[in-house]
Amino acid sequence: MTINLFKGPHQWLSNFWPCEVTLDGVTYPSVEHAYQAAKTEDLTVRTLIRNAHTAGAAKRLGKRVEIRPDWLEMRIQIMRDLVHQKFQHPELREKLLATGEEELIEGNWWGDTFWGNCKGVGENRLGWLLMSERTNIRTKEEKR
């Protein structure tokens, strides 16, 4: 089976889902807020993004920032860390584990073929990070 849209009953898989995470010692209200803030080294802009009322507003602000020089090298590791933090929350961890072996695809219509899949095309990096986190959690729990 496949979960190919992070909406409706699977909306909690979305980076927009409200869930506190930290970036450089600062707490953000969602993975999306923190990820967008991570794009810049400007602390004032990071604060504006952190205080955005919605994850969508944070994303829009993130499209206008001066991108840090190492962004392309750092973005996957930053997302991996934020996803890991998100699924340290017990309720979300249990939901992720409950997806079993289902393939997780961040399907979208806005053309994101790096983190997701649009019209059947894309690298689905977010989906792979989620499935990797699920495997890591399962492995840790089996060792207990």
CA pair distance 108, 115, nearest whole angstrom: 10
CATH code 1.10.10.10 for 2-143: no
Place of tokens 């249990």: 94
- Per-domain residue ranges for the chain? 2-143
Q: What is the percent of the chain where pLDDT is above 90?
A: 96
pTM: 0.95
CA-based max dimension of the chain: 45
Paired tokens of 38 = 């991570």
Instruction: Please state whether 20 falls in left (phi above 0), alpha (psi between -120 and 50) or beta.
Output: beta
* Distance, first Cα to last Cα, the chain: 28
pLDDT of residue 141: 85
pLDDT in tens, 3-55: 999 999 999 999 999 999 999 999 999 999 999 999 999 999 999 999 999 99
